[in-house]
Structure 1
Amino acid sequence: MTRQEDDPGLFTAEEAPLDDLRLREALRIVEALIFASAAPVSETFLAERLPKGVEPGPILSQLQRHYAPRGVNLVRVDDHWAFRTAADLSFAIRKDDMEVKKLSRAALEVLAIIAYHQPVTRAEIEDIRGVQTSKGTIDVLLEAGWVRFRGRRRTPGRPVTFGTTRDFLDHFGLEELRDLPGLEELKGAGLLSGRIPPNFHVPMPGDGDALSADEDPITQLDLEELGLLAPRDEG
């Protein structure tokens, strides 16, 4: 790892440098924890394992700059961090030994609706698509880990609301939901073709985690009702 004095430009004015020994130790701890984890690591997790008085923010910023020109980059996913192959080297990564399951058009449409309109119920998804959505389509997205049950809407029947997950952000290389492409980006990528209605707009996703004012949190009984947990033994 590059020493601080060998690269004085690594720190910004807001990143008050530690003494060299503590800095190197903190860098090594954060690097090792993220490298050893199969899933993105939270800043809270890192802070709990750093020496007293050392904040993970400046350490992560330095590591991110250090890995920026390399074949592996340190990327932020929501408020979590992970090492990922540099995007421009994807052509060199062969996955012939892995079976890639392609999503159906229906599943892609549902995933896009959930991403942009969350929190959204199944009825709302069907209203946007104009067709019924099979349970199997949503099950595929749940099994992939890209969609989750968020809560229950405070309306008659208390329908379940859906939202995307951190794995969704990680898979599509997004730091947060606000990084989803907007109207001009979608048009430039050829994903919107034909004549677009003058009042058409791409919605701005809300907070990925916080429940909205008309949502209740998922409870143990809700999970049992949805078949995600076995009913508790009353005895």
Structure 2
Amino acid sequence: MYDRELEDLPPDLRWREWMLRVEAVIFASAEPVTRETLARVVGKYCSIDLLIDDLREELRDRPYELVVVAGGWQHRTRPRFAETIRASAAPTRGGAAALSEFEAMVLMAVGYFQPVTRSDLSKVFGKEVSRDTISALRGAGFLASGPRSPTPGAPYTYVTNRHFLSAFGMETLRDLPDIEALEDAGLLNRAAVREERISAEAEGEEE
């Protein structure tokens, strides 16, 4: 049986062991680690938040830190070392796959309007969003299928997932950039999607 409680250890050593366990799990994981996962390796009444606080304090002078992304904790290199890592040309793990500028904008649009169809996305940008673009984003692991749209033909909709949040360093979708700024720059058209959905709902009521 795995000993979570460590009752044979004095309190200070028990706490230290729990800290090391939590850090080991987060370090080894390819995805953000949830509270539920960490609870499996520490005592029943152990405060995971306090453990994380102590770990963050220990890492204060290190080039990496513990951050909250996609509903869990993950080790991330501090932003000020990004240029150094790029200059080294060393292979890195995780992060966002390389996307074209248009693919990145389509991905952000899905984040704002999900669940959204490919037709909706085409209206957002005023030009067709191809199946190849959607396939590339799905292949990179950023998109999943949402519910079928209520519009005629019941086309597929698309939604973002935890990998999307993790790769772009967001805790929730509320961390997306300000949509008004993107609209002011002419990069997104929120009204087009809203009008399309109102029209589709009206057609459904008529039927």
- Range into which the TM-score falls when normalised by the shorter chain: 0.7 to 0.9
Shift of 1:113: 0.8
CA gap of 1:19–1:142, structure 2 versus 1, over 3 A, is same
Q: SS at 1:84's partner residue? A: strand
Separation (CA, whole Å) in 2 of partners of 1:113 and 1:134: 14
Residue of structure 1 in register with 2:89 after alignment: 96
Note the C-alpha offset of 1:136: 0.6
Match of 1:29 in 2: 21
After superposition, the C-alpha distances for 1:71-126 in whole angstroms (9 at most, x for unaligned) are: 01101112211101111110110363659974234312211211111221112111
**Alpha-carbon separation, structure 2, partners of 1:130 and 1:27:** 52
Residue 205 of structure 2 corresponds to none
Distance across 1 between alignment mates of 2:71 and 2:37: 11
Match of 2:5 in 1: none
* Residue 29 of structure 1, CA deviation: 0.9
Alignment-derived partner of residue 167 in structure 1: 163
TM-score by length of 1: 0.65
How many residues end up aligned between the 2 structures?
179
| Residue 54 (str. 1) matches residue 50 (str. 2) | no
Q: CA RMSD in A?
A: 3.3
- Report deviation, 1:65: 3.7
Structure 2 segments unaligned to the other structure (5+ residues): 1-9, 192-200, 202-207
Report deviation, 1:155. 4.3
CA deviation profile, 1:17-43 (whole Å, cap 9, x unmatched): x93232112111101111111222111
Distance 1:33 1:150 in 2: 31
Kept in 2, the 8 Å contact 1:73–1:86? The answer is yes
Are the counterparts in 1 of residues 32 and 70 from structure 2 also a CA contact under 8 Å? no
By percentage of residues, which structure has more strand? Answer: 1
Q: Is residue 2:150 matched to residue 1:157?
A: no
Q: Deviations over 1:167-219 (max 9, x none)?
A: 222222222211112157x57xxx9648x9xx989xxxxxxxxxxxx9xxxxx
1-structure distance, mates of 2:17, 2:156 = 46
Which portions of structure 1, spanning 4 or more consecutive aligned residues, are displaced by more than 4 angstroms? 97-102, 191-194
Q: Find the counterpart in structure 1 of residue 120 from structure 2.
A: 124
TM-score (norm 2): 0.72
Please list, as runs of the form range in 1=range in 2, the aligned pairs for 1:38-49 lying within 5 A after superposition. 38-49=30-41
- Report which structure shows greater RCO (CA 8 Å, sep ≥6): 2
Corresponding residue number in structure 2 for 1:228 = none
Larger fraction in helix: 2
Counterpart of 2:175 in structure 1 is 179
Q: Using the alignment, how far apart are the partners of 1:126 and 1:200 within structure 2? A: 12
- Partner of 1:160, secondary structure, is coil
Q: How does 1:1-235 map to 2 (within 5 A)?
A: 19-94=11-86, 96=89, 102-182=98-178, 186=181, 193=185
The CA deviation string for residues 153-175 of structure 1, in whole angstroms up to 9 with x for no partner, is: 34443322212222222222222
